[in-house]
Amino acid sequence: MPAIAGPHLFGGDFEGVADSPASEGAASRFLTQTTFGPTLPEIDRLVRIGHDAWLAEQFAAPASLQLPYLDARINAYIAAGQPVQVYQDARQEIWFRNALRGNDQLRQRVAFALSEIFVISDQNGALEGNPTTMAQFYDLLATNAFGNYRTLLEQVTLHPAMGHYLSMFKNRKPDEELNIRPDENYAREIMQLFSVGLVMLNPDGTPVDGDPGEPGVQTVPTYDQDTIRGFAHVFTGWNFSTCEQPTHPENDGQFQWWFWEYCPPAVEGSTVDWLQAPGWRTPMVPWGEGTPYGNPRHAVAESKQLLVYPGVSPANGLLLGGGSARADLAVALDNVFRHPNVGPFFGRLLIQRLVTSNPSPAYVGRVAAVFANNGSGVRGDLRAVVRSIVMDPEARSLAAAPAHAGKLREPLLRLTQLWRALDARSNSGSVGEGWPEYALAQAVQRSPTVFNFFLPNYQLPGEIANAGLFSPEFQITTDTYITRLSNDIGGKIYWAFRGNPWIGEWDPMQIELAPYVALAEEPGRMLDRIDLLFLGRRMSMPMYDALKAHAEDIDIGPYDWAESGEWRANQMRERAQDMLWLTLTSPEYVVEK
């Protein structure tokens, strides 16, 4: 790589504590991984208080939630006697507000990562018109971001939004006469995507070689169709918490169907809008639990094959029949949670979302070891896992990381970093980006499938694939979206800036260019600030020289041209805008190191 331009204006030493970042650039890089974008005050503060104090504050900060905001908007419509008009764009609005202004930056960043692992999407018909249940699901991720993986897995499993998205909701036991078999959708995805993956892994995340005597790695499947079928039987008999319970014997099919389907609001005749229906906000429950008739929809009698691994419980991974829906679920989730794959599989996914697309086996192994034991004998402590990820030597020092360390920045994170660094805000306080996928190819909880916007093992054909490397974010980096995103960033820099007289009544997020315009007479100093905030002081010398030369080519005239003040101000602003746009669309920036 070409020589780094290095620190200039903001390169002076700060008095920091023992665990302070080594430099302002290192602080910026840390905040790029742990927030939605560095700001100058936060860089300064991190250097002063150190990593430990900063992480302690973030772990203790309460979650910035989405649902209260949506409820307030709903209640305002109801109070005014108007039809409720709260849609998915309102959910995007509060996500951006929390990402840009929330004090719990690390929690929100981890929640965003979790939303790309435990995927639900408003592209699903059952969820498209219900932004409140999706907001509450995201709040669940944020609330549990530093909790225990086992708790998170159960809350995800029982949330009505996930129940609808992956069809566990009202999943029924087998009935040969009616040709009914339990739906296998959630059974597959809880294993393939949320916990253990498709093949057995070593503690460092490398595949287990099932036959070392054969050339190459002979992978060992994590589960088979019997396992999928077993989990599908476990996930039967769950319904809205508000559904009527059975009051007739099992053979009375007409009444059984009615109560299974009828799920009234909390109070009969309530005027609460359906967006606030309790059934969408409370965990699903086993239908018939606590009634004399039990659960007529759960596969009670059948034995269920679960995952098999050394030391597995129950013995041979076989859950015998006779258990209730709730008891079977507890055993099944414990069976998943204790699988040796979970630490390396889930840990690698989080590393990819926060730090690098291609963590070394040693990095994955260190994180997996913390997942297995947080140092106090606790398995699945996500706070300890997150800390281990962001404080690992490969995360904190490029010198300790492989040469291919880094990742392509997600488009949403490019936008939030731009807005946070340039103190963007609208006149009304709103964030009018309800449908960001047009330019960015992604919007929160709007992926086209359960596999997220991109696969963790996607390999861009050519040099990356030939090197055996993974490049998830490149899967949505098409010619169309490269152009759209570049144009979108250009519009936000060249048009949506504070003080633009041509904006009129339009109310976009407006960036603050004044600090950069103030440095326009000294392009080197202006580039110092841009380099620090956006590249963590990793800008190469050739790029720095080229940008500086371009800025100097934009004529700003002599100081004594009083009559040309407006022209000169425009030229100085153009210097700042060009430096920002060229930087934010450059390969050196787009590939985060």
Percent of the chain with pLDDT over 70: 93
Q: How do residues 531-587 score in pLDDT, each as one tens digit?
A: 999 999 999 999 999 999 999 999 987 655 555 678 888 999 999 999 999 999 999
pLDDT at 7: 56
Query: What is the rounded distance in angstroms from the CA atom of residue 434 to the CA atom of residue 500?
Result: 23
Which DSSP state fits 296? T
Domains contained in the chain, number: 3
Q: What is the pLDDT of residue 252?
A: 56
Q: Are 586 and 414 in contact (CB under 8 A)?
A: no
Residue 407, helix vs strand vs coil: strand
Same domain assignment for residues 285 and 163 = yes
At which of 363, 393, 408 does a domain end?
408
d(CA 121, CA 123): 5
Confidence class for position 109, pLDDT limits 50, 70, 90: very high
Rounded to an integer, the average pLDDT of 387-405 is 95
Burial of 470 by CB count in 10 Å (0-12 exposed, 13-18 middle, 19+ buried)? buried
Neighbour-count burial for 192-213, b at 16+ CB within 10 Å, e otherwise? bbbbbbbbbbbbbbeebeeeee
Radius of gyration of the chain (CA): 27
Give domain status of residue 19, yes or no. Answer: no
Confidence check: pLDDT of 350 > 90 = yes
pLDDT tens digits, residue range 115-173?
Answer: 999 999 999 999 999 999 999 999 999 999 999 999 999 999 999 999 999 999 999 99
Q: What is the pLDDT, as a whole number, of residue 269?
A: 46
pLDDT-derived band at 13, boundaries 50, 70, 90: very low
Handedness of CA 395, 399, 402, 403 (dihedral sign): positive
Residue 298 covered by a domain? yes
In a domain? residue 351: yes
**End residue of a domain, out of 408, 424, 440:** 408
| Range of weakest confidence among 7-21, 78-92, 226-240, 408-422 | 7-21
- Distance CA(255)–CA(248), nearest Å, equals 7
- 492 and 475 within one domain: yes
pLDDT tens for residues 184-217?
999 999 999 999 999 999 999 999 999 998 898 9
Same domain? For 327 and 437 the reply is: no
DSSP character for 315?
G
DSSP for 225-253? HHHHHHHHHHT-SEE-TTSPPP-S-TT-H
Residue 236 lies in a domain: yes
Residues 348 and 399 grouped into a single domain: yes
Same domain, 568 and 485: yes
Q: Is pLDDT at 255 greater than 90 in this prediction?
A: no
- Does 49 have pLDDT greater than 90? yes
Q: Which region among 105-109, 491-495, 557-561 has the lowest average model confidence (pLDDT)?
A: 557-561
Q: Note the pLDDT of residue 266.
A: 54
Judgement on whether residues 195 and 171 belong to the same structural domain of the protein: yes
How much is the average pLDDT of 403-419? 97
Query: Do 329 and 463 share a domain, yes or no?
Result: no
217 is a domain residue: yes
Number of Cβ within a 10 Å radius of residue 169: 20
293-319: pLDDT as tens digits: 788 899 999 999 999 999 999 999 999
The pLDDT assigned to 138 comes to: 98
Residue 251: per-residue pLDDT = 53
Cβ(356)–Cβ(198) under 8 Å? Answer: no
pLDDT over 70 at 2, yes or no: no
Residue 12 has pLDDT above 50, yes or no: no
Structure-token pair, residue 473: 């974010």
Helix (H), strand (E), coil (C) string for 114-183: HHCCCCCCCCCHHHHCCHHHHHHHHHHHHHCCCCEHHHHHHHHHHCHHHHHHCCCCCCCCCECCCCECCC
Q: End of a domain among 351, 382, 408? A: 408
User: Length of the chain, please?
Assistant: 593
> How far is Cα 448 from Cα 452, in angstroms, rounded to an integer?
7
Looking at the structure, tell me whether residues 236 and 293 fall in a common domain. Answer: yes
Whether residue 127 lies inside any domain: the answer is no
Q: Residue 561's pLDDT is what?
A: 52
Beta-carbon count within 10 A of 418 CB: 21
Range of 474's domain?
409-592
Q: What is the mean pLDDT of residues 102-120?
A: 98
Which has the minimum average pLDDT: 3-12, 14-23, 405-414, 467-476?
3-12
Looking at the predicted structure, is the pLDDT value of residue 432 above 90?
no
- What pLDDT is recorded for position 1? 41
For the cut 70, the answer to whether the pLDDT of residue 478 exceeds it is: yes
Residue 121, token pair as written in the block? 């999407």
In this structure, the answer to whether residues 377 and 401 fall within a common structural domain is yes
d(CA 351, CA 370): 13
What's the pTM? 0.95
pLDDT of residue 518: 96
Instruction: Say if residues 581 and 493 touch (Cβ distance below 8 Å).
Output: yes
pLDDT: which is higher, 176 or 258 = 176
Q: Which of 163-167, 290-294, 349-353 has the lowest mean pLDDT?
A: 290-294
Helix/strand/coil (H/E/C) assignment for every residue in 94-117: HHHHHHHHCCCHHHHHHHHHHHCC
**Residues 320 and 251 occupy one common structural domain:** yes
Q: Which of 52, 58, 204 is nearest to 145 (CA)?
A: 58
Percent of the chain with pLDDT over 90: 83
Q: What is the rounded average pLDDT for all residues in the chain? A: 93
Q: State residue 247's pLDDT score.
A: 74
Tell me which residue of 189, 222, 234 sits closest to 312, measured CA to CA: 222
